[in-house]
Structure 1
Amino acid sequence: MHLYAATVAEAARGVGDEAFIAAAERRFTKVFGVAPSAEEVHSWRRSWPALVSILRSAGLEDVHLLLEYSLPATGERVDALLLGKDADGRLCCVAIELKQWTRAQLSPARPGMVRIGERVVQHPARQVGGYVHYLQQWVSRDDFPLTVRGTVVLHDASAELVADLRVPAARGPAAAHPVLGRDDLTPQPSPQALAQRLGCAELSPTGRDDVERLLHAEHRPSPALLERAGEVIAGRDAFALIGDQDLARQEILHAVDAARERGTKSIVVVTGGPGTGKTVIACRLLGDLCKQPGGNPRLLSPSGTLTRQLRRTVGEDFRGLIATFLNKVPAQIADDSVVLLDEAHRARTYPDHQQGAFPVILGKLVDQAAVTVLFLDERQIVRPTEGLTLKQLEQHAQRRGFSFVHVDLVSQFRCNGSRAYQQWVDHLFQPEGPALAWEGSDYDLAVATDPEQLDHWVAEHIRGGRTARVTAGFCWPWDSPLTPPLLPEVAITWDGPEGPRTWARPWNSRADEPGFDHPEVPARPFWATDTGGQDQVGCIYTAQGMEYAYNAVIMGGDLVRRGDRWIAHPEESHDSQLRDLPPHRYLEYALNTYRVLATRGSRGTRFYSTDALTQAFLQKLTSPHNG
Structure 2
Amino acid sequence: MHLYGATVAEAARGVGQETFIAAAEHRFKQVFGQAPSEEEVRSWRRSWPALTKILCSAGLETLHLLLEYSLPATGERVDALLLGRDAEGRLCAVAIELKQWTRAQLSPVRPGMVRIAERVVQHPARQVGGYVHYLQQWVNRDDFPLTARGTVVLHDAPADLVTDLRAPAARGPAAAYPILGRDDLTPQPSPHALAQRLGCAELSPASAEDIERFLQVEHRPSPSLLERAGEVIEGRDAFTLIGEQDRARQEVLHAVDVARERGKKSIVVVTGGPGTGKTVIACRLLGDLCNQPHANPRLLSPSGTLTRQLRRTVGDDFRGLLSTFTDKMPSGITDDSVVLLDEAHRARTYPDHQQGSFPLILGKLLQRAAVTVLFLDERQIVRPTEGLTLTQLQQHAQHARFGFAHIDLVSQFRCNGSRAYQQWADDLYQPGGTAPLWEGSDYDLDIAANPEQLEQWVADHIRHGQTARVTAGFCWPWDSPSTPPLKPEVAITWNGPDGPATWARPWNSRADEPAFEHPDVPARPFWATDTGGHDQVGCIYTAQGMEYTYNAVIMGADLVRRGDEWIAHPEESHDGQLRRLPPHRYLTYALNTYRVLATRGTRGTRIYSTDPATQAFLHALISPHAR
Note the C-alpha offset of 1:623.
3.5
Q: Does 1:417 align with 2:454?
A: no
The one-letter code matched in structure 1 to 2:57 is: S
CA–CA distance in structure 2, aligned partners of residues 46 and 355 of structure 1: 43
The one-letter code matched in structure 2 to 1:59 is: G
Tell whether the 8 Å contact from 1:437 to 1:626 is kept in structure 2 after alignment. Answer: no
CA–CA distance in structure 2, aligned partners of residues 60 and 299 of structure 1: 41
Write the mapping of 1:335-350 to structure 2, written as runs, cut at 5 A: 335-350=335-350
CA–CA distance in structure 2, aligned partners of residues 33 and 336 of structure 1: 27
Tell whether the 8 Å contact from 2:439 to 2:623 is kept in structure 1 after alignment. Answer: no
Note the C-alpha offset of 1:353.
11
Secondary structure of 2:264 counterpart: coil
Tell whether the 8 Å contact from 2:354 to 2:360 is kept in structure 1 after alignment. Answer: no
The one-letter code matched in structure 1 to 2:81 is: L
Q: Which residue of 1 aligns with 2:104?
A: 104
Equivalenced residues, count: 627
Note the C-alpha offset of 1:31.
1.3
Tell whether the 8 Å contact from 1:620 to 1:626 is kept in structure 2 after alignment. Answer: no
Write the mapping of 1:193-592 to structure 2, written as runs, cut at 5 A: 193-351=193-351, 357-592=357-592
Q: Does 1:42 align with 2:42?
A: yes
The one-letter code matched in structure 2 to 1:172 is: G
CA–CA distance in structure 1, aligned partners of residues 170 and 352 of structure 2: 50
CA–CA distance in structure 2, aligned partners of residues 354 and 113 of structure 1: 39
Secondary structure of 1:534 counterpart: helix
The one-letter code matched in structure 2 to 1:516 is: F
Tell whether the 8 Å contact from 1:548 to 1:601 is kept in structure 2 after alignment. Answer: yes
CA–CA distance in structure 2, aligned partners of residues 14 and 602 of structure 1: 61
- The Cα offsets for residues 395-436 of structure 1, whole Å up to 9 and x where unpaired, read as 000111111100111111000000110111111111111111
The one-letter code matched in structure 2 to 1:376 is: L
> Structure 1 205/379 Cα, relative in aligned 2: closer, same or farther at 3 Å?
same
The one-letter code matched in structure 2 to 1:218 is: E
CA–CA distance in structure 1, aligned partners of residues 525 and 473 of structure 2: 18
CA–CA distance in structure 1, aligned partners of residues 267 and 73 of structure 2: 23
> Structure 1 353/5 Cα, relative in aligned 2: closer, same or farther at 3 Å?
closer
Secondary structure of 2:84 counterpart: strand
Q: Which residue of 2 aligns with 1:11?
A: 11
Note the C-alpha offset of 1:354.
11
- The Cα offsets for residues 333-376 of structure 1, whole Å up to 9 and x where unpaired, read as 11010000000000001139999711111111111111000000
Which consecutive unaligned segments of at least 5 residues does structure 1 have? none
Q: Which residue of 2 aligns with 1:87?
A: 87
The one-letter code matched in structure 1 to 2:185 is: L
Tell whether the 8 Å contact from 2:448 to 2:454 is kept in structure 1 after alignment. Answer: yes
TM-score by length of 1: 0.99
Tell whether the 8 Å contact from 2:441 to 2:626 is kept in structure 1 after alignment. Answer: no
Q: Which residue of 1 aligns with 2:189?
A: 189
The one-letter code matched in structure 2 to 1:283 is: C
CA–CA distance in structure 2, aligned partners of residues 15 and 566 of structure 1: 63
Secondary structure of 1:525 counterpart: helix
The one-letter code matched in structure 2 to 1:409 is: L
Note the C-alpha offset of 1:258.
1.3
Q: Which residue of 2 aligns with 1:172?
A: 172
Tell whether the 8 Å contact from 1:446 to 1:623 is kept in structure 2 after alignment. Answer: no
- The Cα offsets for residues 237-258 of structure 1, whole Å up to 9 and x where unpaired, read as 2211112211211111111211
CA–CA distance in structure 1, aligned partners of residues 514 and 195 of structure 2: 38
CA–CA distance in structure 1, aligned partners of residues 306 and 84 of structure 2: 40
CA–CA distance in structure 2, aligned partners of residues 508 and 178 of structure 1: 37
CA–CA distance in structure 2, aligned partners of residues 319 and 199 of structure 1: 26
Tell whether the 8 Å contact from 1:353 to 1:388 is kept in structure 2 after alignment. Answer: no
The one-letter code matched in structure 1 to 2:465 is: G
CA–CA distance in structure 2, aligned partners of residues 353 and 203 of structure 1: 46
The one-letter code matched in structure 2 to 1:564 is: D
> Structure 1 356/212 Cα, relative in aligned 2: closer, same or farther at 3 Å?
closer
Which consecutive unaligned segments of at least 5 residues does structure 2 have? none
Choose 133-142 or 355-364, whichever is displaced more: 355-364
Secondary structure of 2:579 counterpart: coil
CA–CA distance in structure 1, aligned partners of residues 356 and 600 of structure 2: 31
Tell whether the 8 Å contact from 2:568 to 2:586 is kept in structure 1 after alignment. Answer: yes
CA–CA distance in structure 2, aligned partners of residues 504 and 48 of structure 1: 50
Q: Which residue of 1 aligns with 2:20?
A: 20
Tell whether the 8 Å contact from 2:440 to 2:626 is kept in structure 1 after alignment. Answer: no
> Structure 1 196/352 Cα, relative in aligned 2: closer, same or farther at 3 Å?
closer
Note the C-alpha offset of 1:261.
1.5
Q: Which residue of 2 aligns with 1:59?
A: 59
CA–CA distance in structure 1, aligned partners of residues 515 and 526 of structure 2: 13
CA–CA distance in structure 1, aligned partners of residues 184 and 346 of structure 2: 50
The one-letter code matched in structure 2 to 1:104 is: A
Choose 535-544 or 37-46, whichever is displaced more: 37-46
CA–CA distance in structure 2, aligned partners of residues 537 and 83 of structure 1: 49
Tell whether the 8 Å contact from 2:439 to 2:625 is kept in structure 1 after alignment. Answer: no
Tell whether the 8 Å contact from 1:351 to 1:384 is kept in structure 2 after alignment. Answer: no
Q: Which residue of 1 aligns with 2:31?
A: 31
The one-letter code matched in structure 1 to 2:420 is: A
Q: Which residue of 1 aligns with 2:69?
A: 69
Query: Percent identity between the aligned chains?
Result: 83
- The Cα offsets for residues 517-554 of structure 1, whole Å up to 9 and x where unpaired, read as 11110000000000000000001110000000000010
Note the C-alpha offset of 1:201.
1.3
Note the C-alpha offset of 1:625.
5.3
CA–CA distance in structure 1, aligned partners of residues 263 and 517 of structure 2: 54
CA–CA distance in structure 1, aligned partners of residues 515 and 209 of structure 2: 47
CA–CA distance in structure 1, aligned partners of residues 355 and 19 of structure 2: 46
Secondary structure of 1:521 counterpart: coil
Q: CA RMSD in A?
A: 1.3
> Structure 1 584/139 Cα, relative in aligned 2: closer, same or farther at 3 Å?
same
TM-score by length of 2: 0.99
Q: Does 1:148 align with 2:152?
A: no
